[in-house]
Amino acid sequence: MLVKKAFKYRIYPNNEQQLLIQKTLGCCRFVFNHFLEQWNTTYAETGKGLSYSKCAKQLPVLKTSLEWLEEVDSTALQTAARHLADSFNRFFKKKSRAPRFKSRRNPVQSYTAKHTNGNIAIRGHEIKLPKLGWMRFANSRACEGRIISATIRRNASGKYFVSILCEVEQEPLPAAHKHIGIDLGLKEFAVCSDGLRVESPKAFRRYEKKLAFWQRRMSRRTKGGSNWHKAKMNVARIYEKIANIRQNFLQQLTTKLIRENQTISIESLDVVNMLKNTKLAKSIADSSWGEFERQLTYKAKWYGRTLKFADTFAPTSQTCHVCGYVNPKIKLLSIREWSCPSCKTSHDRDDNAAQNIKRVAI
């Protein structure tokens, strides 16, 4: 099966290359905002928006009148127009909100360049990117398959990364003949029906005090000053550290589950509504259940596994998995262990929920 995989690397551009990256980011942002304004005006006047082809046809004329657009990669400008069209398509399908104007003040900036005539290549510990030429990069893993595009990204911490999108022939894993149910939680990230318990990394909680310290220092300093920028950089680095810990934990856990199990059953959680609980919102956000589900979904598709979902409102914690008796008193989260009045079986709340998720998942 052909799948699209992204291989992310850290790059080390020199001063000239950094300047060209900044110019490309600015030009792509200008093209996006220019066509967004035209799109909104046309829609207000005619009731119809523009299409990608109409925007792409205007790009050569725009580059003729604005010579500085010629300095950057042309495929990056085309991709900016494509992203705008895709944003409107998602908006009209009610999958996202309407596109907004891009700001240069956004701490994270990126652009995407297409692969044409070998303008993206890897040679040892050097990578070739459109208009930028060769530069050092951290070759942490082998890049496989046919290269489609490269996305250059500048993080809030000032680091530069590139994601190489490739088309790869993905072979399914050998059959595992094992089915587990997984109950997600806050104290323990996951409790599996086979007895596996996975502790939550609680990345945000670990760095919460350090983050608050630098956020207070940043708020007390004059905005725009050198000391304010130092504090801001420290805040960005802490957030990046939290994101890296969380991402590493989820990647390792989902890969382990996919390799060892043929069928995985999880509970379908409405995380957006759960975040409205002001007492638990911080812990729920720190757990990243949505990202866990996303990774399991695409990895199951890649490697020939089956992912099942239990109904959000199924009483998995309240139902005895032995006899099926539903105990309404177990709604309280403080009750971690209980005995079934019908069959007298003692239950751990999370173990019992994992068994029921495995049983009722569709």
Catalytic annotation, residues:
183, 267, 350
Quick one: three-class SS letters along the chain?
CEEEEEEEEEEECCHHHHHHHHHHHHHHHHHHHHHHHHHHHHHHHHCCCCCHHHHHHHHHHHHHHCHHHHHCCHHHHHHHHHHHHHHHHHHHCCCCCCCCCCCCCCCCEEEEEECCCCCCEEECCEEEECCCEEEEECCCCCCCCEEEEEEEEECCCCCEEEEEEEEEECCCCCCCCCEEEEEECCCEEEEECCCCEEECCCHHHHHHHHHHHHHHHHHHCCCCCHHHHHHHHHHHHHHHHHHHHHHHHHHHHHHHHHHHCCEEEEECCCHHHHCCCCCCHHHHHHHCHHHHHHHHHHHHHHHCCEEEEECCCCCCCCECCCCCCECHHHHCCCCCEEECCCCCCEEEHHHHHHHHHHHHCC
- Look up residue 301 and give its amino acid: K
For the beta carbon of residue 80, count every other beta carbon within 10 angstroms.
24
CB 138 within 8 A of CB 127: no
